[in-house]
Chains A and B, each alone.
Chain A
């Protein structure tokens, strides 16, 4: 059998508003495609966790070396804003679950509504994050305009960390907490944006009727990604805002 007369496996659409799914030629069964996608994506999530693992390791190491800096630094963050953002993400994880469920049961309209709500959650999260960054900017704890101005060897000054209220004056290396805070939350924020973009992408596919009870793998995987983004924040929130 040459590849010309190789017949692709088709998963029929459950209704007129959906389209058939063609299983890629190198899989023999739809189950094989589904399991391969799932396993691959879980492995990818493992690499994401390990990537953040390096940041967490740095956090714990310097928390151990400069405990006062981290405790005092954590007090400068607004835990109410952090808690609000935590609830927003938790809620968006619920809408994501409902979105995946709706896709699995071929309910196109509900899928679109729930996925749209999840994207809205991502937008609210980023807005609150922006307000928090602005507050840090005003107090000279992270001055974004001077972020890349370099390090002044002679004065020992970091242009982005002026701390003009002097809140961190009594602890060693006050910038360290804010540098780690910025790095961790910014990388997490990039993941939020990527996650939102992926959700918008599967919303287009949903609108075209590509996802239904017979084939919903991409919705499922994007859902997993969104839960990971949520999970990482669940760890970041207490570590940064409620420094033990």
Chain B
């Protein structure tokens, strides 16, 4: 139409050259594989843990489909054992532990402290490659015949079983060092690379949470390392320390394993707490209620979590007095955890809540984590645990924490920082639909497991008596719904990279430093070295222009 034709004398602006950012500042596969840029390493981690999550999720769906019928629908018992072991091992070691620190932490933490990179960029890249070697070894273990020990590798079965336990053990050893390197890097970065004016109590709570996580990674993971090494030695030359035939003690293995693996629960969940702390304040446009309480409760959790490992072993044979102590300390660790939950709810209370997709994930987290946390206290009480030990009640409890809380917090953080990382926005309507599907599917999967667990359905069984069939079928339907929600999420996130609208400089109106660098950030993060003059979460300092202006 002629009316749409601009008059000839109008000055048409030169198309501006795209601003240089970390994604386009250098090209070629080698500029990625050999990069020392924390944001690129974080992205490679994101892709890696994303695939690990999808693989672990596929194994989970196979488990649930198999359990549709009491006699099992798909596999022999032997294969079933391998499938649930793969699900657990992939999810725990390749996804949940590295996911948030490795991807979002790597990208966001240096931005939040106003640094140009993490303190030790080479170690950061090494951490990613150790993760990759771990993943390759895990895949190799599958090819070599798989493993059927469960993700806990309890002796003496892990010594006797005729499978690739040594290979997967090496995978876990290498993954452990990957995790140590990330933690070590974050500790040094937070101590040494904070911007001028950024005091400890001006640090965003995601940084505090990652700091506490890192302490656990550095101090607990080596014990797991030596434990899997000892299991490997047991199989290779029969040291005998875990092998009752040779005068060893399998319970010692459990002590070693849980000395790491209980703190590991907090290695997994503390970063999730950090994301939620960030998101409740930004999307409620209100300073956090009880900032210092949340910060110190992370540290308190880190300390106490070293003293509660025995609550996994109430039925394994340990002294009654030890059990009293472990049970009491388990109740005790619930206090700093509950402080966080109350602080988050109090932050949302009377805030100016924006019900966008990151906030919907956050609200889903608050509900699910309340259930996951409280059922943990139930399991921490001695007499109840004797009944519930190794039932689906335990399975439901830790999935409410690991899947419902940690993975949902990861999704929340992913949606929150997605526009910052890629400079593109996903389809918000589809995102909201996906949250609802995931929330409904998740609860449909795991609420029935609480019920059948409390009625005695043991975990890890390939078959069951028909009385449990309704619960199993409800759970399987839930799992399919949950899986389709996640598939939808993956689909709109990936398409947003190509067709998504350009993100705003400050998409949600955050006031921490991660929202004050350009979108997407340049190679060295900030155009000028930042100085911090405001208290953290001081929304009076918000630059509203940055929320209107499109990224250029």
In the complex the two chains form, what is the Cα distance from A3 to B521 in whole Å? 12
In the bound complex, do residue B239 and residue A179 qualify as a contact, i.e. CB atoms below 8 Å apart?
yes
In the bound complex, do residue B247 and residue A2 qualify as a contact, i.e. CB atoms below 8 Å apart?
no
Kindly provide the distance from the CB of A174 to the nearest chain B CB, expressed in whole angstroms: 9
Q: A54: CB under 8 A from chain B?
A: yes
| Closest A residue to B123 using CB positions | A40
In the bound complex, do residue A66 and residue B247 qualify as a contact, i.e. CB atoms below 8 Å apart?
yes
In the bound complex, do residue A47 and residue B238 qualify as a contact, i.e. CB atoms below 8 Å apart?
no
> Contacts A36-B120, A39-B192, A58-B252 hold; do A160 and B240 have CB atoms under 8 A apart?
no
In the complex the two chains form, what is the Cα distance from A27 to B529 in whole Å? 12
Report the tally of A-B residue pairs with Cβ distances under 8 A. Answer: 126
> Contacts A25-B116, A47-B180 hold; do A54 and B240 have CB atoms under 8 A apart?
no
B123 neighbours in A (Cβ, 8 Å)? 40
In the bound complex, do residue A46 and residue B117 qualify as a contact, i.e. CB atoms below 8 Å apart?
no
A160 neighbours in B (Cβ, 8 Å)? 237
In the bound complex, do residue A172 and residue B223 qualify as a contact, i.e. CB atoms below 8 Å apart?
no
Q: Which of A1-27 contact B (CB under 8 A)?
A: 1-3, 6, 24-27
Which applies to chain A's interface (DSSP): helix, strand, loop or mixed?
helix
- Our pick among B187, B523, B529 for the contact of A43 (Cβ within 8 Å) is B187
In the bound complex, do residue A158 and residue B238 qualify as a contact, i.e. CB atoms below 8 Å apart?
yes
> Contacts A61-B252, A176-B246 hold; do A148 and B237 have CB atoms under 8 A apart?
yes
| Closest A residue to B239 using CB positions | A179
Kindly provide the distance from the CB of B229 to the nearest chain A CB, expressed in whole angstroms: 8
In the complex the two chains form, what is the Cα distance from A53 to B223 in whole Å? 8
Q: A68: CB under 8 A from chain B?
A: no
Q: B245: CB under 8 A from chain A?
A: yes
In the complex the two chains form, what is the Cα distance from A231 to B119 in whole Å? 28
Q: A44: CB under 8 A from chain B?
A: yes
Q: B528: CB under 8 A from chain A?
A: yes
> Contacts A2-B522, A176-B246 hold; do A36 and B237 have CB atoms under 8 A apart?
no
Kindly provide the distance from the CB of B426 to the nearest chain A CB, expressed in whole angstroms: 29
Q: A204: CB under 8 A from chain B?
A: no
In the bound complex, do residue A173 and residue B246 qualify as a contact, i.e. CB atoms below 8 Å apart?
yes
> Contacts A43-B187, A48-B222 hold; do A180 and B241 have CB atoms under 8 A apart?
yes
Q: A175: CB under 8 A from chain B?
A: yes
Q: Which of A24-51 contact B (CB under 8 A)?
A: 24-28, 32, 35-37, 39-40, 43-44, 46-48, 50-51
In the complex the two chains form, what is the Cα distance from A72 to B423 in whole Å? 69
In the bound complex, do residue A2 and residue B227 qualify as a contact, i.e. CB atoms below 8 Å apart?
no
> Contacts A40-B123, A54-B230, A158-B246 hold; do A26 and B117 have CB atoms under 8 A apart?
yes
In the complex the two chains form, what is the Cα distance from A172 to B527 in whole Å? 70
In the bound complex, do residue B239 and residue A183 qualify as a contact, i.e. CB atoms below 8 Å apart?
yes
In the bound complex, do residue A54 and residue B249 qualify as a contact, i.e. CB atoms below 8 Å apart?
no
Q: A151: CB under 8 A from chain B?
A: yes
Kindly provide the distance from the CB of B523 to the nearest chain A CB, expressed in whole angstroms: 5
Interface centre among B188, B233, B237 (most CB of A within 10 A): B237
B226 neighbours in A (Cβ, 8 Å)? 51-55
Q: How many residues of B contact A (CB 8 A)?
A: 48
Q: B193: CB under 8 A from chain A?
A: yes
In the bound complex, do residue A180 and residue B225 qualify as a contact, i.e. CB atoms below 8 Å apart?
no
In the bound complex, do residue A148 and residue B236 qualify as a contact, i.e. CB atoms below 8 Å apart?
yes
| Closest B residue to A186 using CB positions | B233
| Closest A residue to B118 using CB positions | A26
> Contacts A54-B230, A150-B238, A179-B239 hold; do A46 and B219 have CB atoms under 8 A apart?
yes
Q: A94: CB under 8 A from chain B?
A: no
Q: A156: CB under 8 A from chain B?
A: yes
In the bound complex, do residue B188 and residue A43 qualify as a contact, i.e. CB atoms below 8 Å apart?
yes
Q: B428: CB under 8 A from chain A?
A: no
B237 neighbours in A (Cβ, 8 Å)? 147-148, 160, 179
In the complex the two chains form, what is the Cα distance from A24 to B193 in whole Å? 13
Which applies to chain B's interface (DSSP): helix, strand, loop or mixed?
helix
Q: B256: CB under 8 A from chain A?
A: yes
In the bound complex, do residue B247 and residue A26 qualify as a contact, i.e. CB atoms below 8 Å apart?
no
Q: How many residues of A contact B (CB 8 A)?
A: 47
B527 neighbours in A (Cβ, 8 Å)? 1-2
In the complex the two chains form, what is the Cα distance from A1 to B180 in whole Å? 34
In the complex the two chains form, what is the Cα distance from A35 to B20 in whole Å? 32
Q: A130: CB under 8 A from chain B?
A: no
Q: A62: CB under 8 A from chain B?
A: yes
A172 neighbours in B (Cβ, 8 Å)? 247
> Contacts A39-B192, A47-B221, A54-B226 hold; do A183 and B238 have CB atoms under 8 A apart?
no
In the bound complex, do residue B238 and residue A1 qualify as a contact, i.e. CB atoms below 8 Å apart?
no
Interface string of A178-210 (1 = CB under 8 A from B): 011001000000000000000000000000000
In the complex the two chains form, what is the Cα distance from A145 to B436 in whole Å? 62
| Closest A residue to B226 using CB positions | A54
> Contacts A44-B184, A54-B230, A176-B241 hold; do A26 and B192 have CB atoms under 8 A apart?
no
Interface centre among A50, A158, A173 (most CB of B within 10 A): A50
Interface string of B201-223 (1 = CB under 8 A from A): 00000000000000000110111
In the bound complex, do residue B241 and residue A26 qualify as a contact, i.e. CB atoms below 8 Å apart?
no
B239 neighbours in A (Cβ, 8 Å)? 176, 179-180, 183
Q: B534: CB under 8 A from chain A?
A: no
| Closest B residue to A55 using CB positions | B226
In the bound complex, do residue A50 and residue B223 qualify as a contact, i.e. CB atoms below 8 Å apart?
yes
Interface string of A91-102 (1 = CB under 8 A from B): 000000000000
Q: B501: CB under 8 A from chain A?
A: no
| Closest B residue to A53 using CB positions | B223
Q: B191: CB under 8 A from chain A?
A: yes
A61 neighbours in B (Cβ, 8 Å)? 249, 252
Kindly provide the distance from the CB of B178 to the nearest chain A CB, expressed in whole angstroms: 13
In the bound complex, do residue A36 and residue B188 qualify as a contact, i.e. CB atoms below 8 Å apart?
yes
B522 neighbours in A (Cβ, 8 Å)? 2-3
Kindly provide the distance from the CB of A160 to the nearest chain B CB, expressed in whole angstroms: 6
In the bound complex, do residue B238 and residue A3 qualify as a contact, i.e. CB atoms below 8 Å apart?
no
In the complex the two chains form, what is the Cα distance from A176 to B247 in whole Å? 8
Residue pairs across A and B with Cβ atoms less than 8 A apart, 26 shown, are: A1-B527, A2-B527, A26-B119, A26-B121, A32-B193, A36-B119, A37-B120, A39-B187, A39-B191, A39-B192, A43-B184, A44-B184, A48-B222, A51-B223, A53-B223, A54-B230, A55-B226, A58-B252, A61-B249, A147-B236, A172-B247, A175-B238, A175-B240, A175-B246, A176-B240, A179-B238
Other 12 A-B pairs with CB < 8 A, given A43-B188, A148-B237 = A2-B524, A25-B524, A26-B121, A36-B189, A39-B187, A39-B192, A43-B187, A147-B236, A156-B245, A175-B240, A176-B239, A180-B239
Rank and list the top 8 A-B pairs by shortest CB-CB distance, nearest first. Answer: A173-B247, A54-B226, A26-B117, A50-B222, A26-B116, A179-B239, A36-B119, A51-B222
Q: Give chain B's interface residues, CB within 8 Å of chain A.
A: 20, 25, 115-121, 123, 180, 184-185, 187-189, 191-193, 218-219, 221-223, 225-227, 230, 233, 236-241, 245-249, 252, 256, 522-524, 527-529
